[in-house]
């Protein structure tokens, strides 16, 4: 599952331009708007920090786990570095992944907090909610709790098939 989320985040680096619409947010972090200063002010320093280059752009990842993770989370991963119509912005949040503890985000709470998803699917046996606001929620296989929640910049609607 982490590979899927990492692949999504990497695609966002170069494939998405920040839109004027506001992305889904959680805990004071809004992808495409919040910066590393915003995150540090709210959650202090990360448990781990890593840097790498993706398609020639420097990116940074902060991982909060254990006692450093926000309340109710096993882990929070924040990726920085976003290519926008104004150019590359290395300090801007590109994506955030939450791994909630059991019972924190059951399906009912996700629906109350973010509304009905724009699309629903199944990926490797897990129910998935997709929101155009940039939120992707994977649920525990066979359960009602969120296993992971990926927050990204607002996503463009995919083109509808011809004739529909």
* pLDDT tens for each residue of 50-91: 999 998 999 999 999 999 999 999 999 999 999 988 999 999
Q: What is the pLDDT of residue 159?
A: 61
Question: pLDDT at position 23, please?
Answer: 82
| Cβ atoms of residues 8 and 136 within 8 Å | yes
d(CA 5, CA 86): 26
**What pLDDT score does 105 carry?**
97
The pLDDT value recorded for residue 6 is 44
For residue 17, is pLDDT > 80? no
pTM of the model: 0.83
Q: What is the pLDDT of residue 52?
A: 95
pLDDT for 119 beyond 90? yes
Cα(89)–Cα(52) distance, integer angstroms? 15
Answer yes or no: are the C-beta atoms of 32 and 91 closer than 8 Å: no
């Amino acid at each position: 599952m982490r590979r899927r989320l990492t692949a999504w985040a990497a695609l966002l680096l170069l494939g998405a331009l920040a839109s004027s619409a506001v992305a889904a947010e959680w805990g004071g972090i809004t992808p495409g708007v919040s910066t590393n200063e915003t995150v540090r002010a709210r959650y202090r320093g990360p448990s781990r920090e890593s840097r790498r280059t993706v398609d020639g752009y420097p990116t940074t990842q902060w991982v909060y786990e254990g006692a450093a993770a926000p309340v109710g989370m096993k882990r929070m991963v924040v990726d920085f570095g976003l290519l926008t119509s104004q150019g590359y912005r290395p300090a801007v949040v590109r994506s955030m992944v939450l791994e909630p503890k059991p019972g924190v985000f059951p399906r009912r709470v996700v629906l109350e907090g973010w509304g009905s998803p724009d699309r629903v699917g199944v990926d490797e046996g897990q129910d998935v909610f997709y929101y155009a606001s940039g939120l992707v929620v994977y649920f525990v296989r066979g359960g009602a709790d969120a296993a992971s929640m990926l927050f990204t910049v607002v996503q463009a609607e995919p083109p509808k098939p011809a004739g529909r």
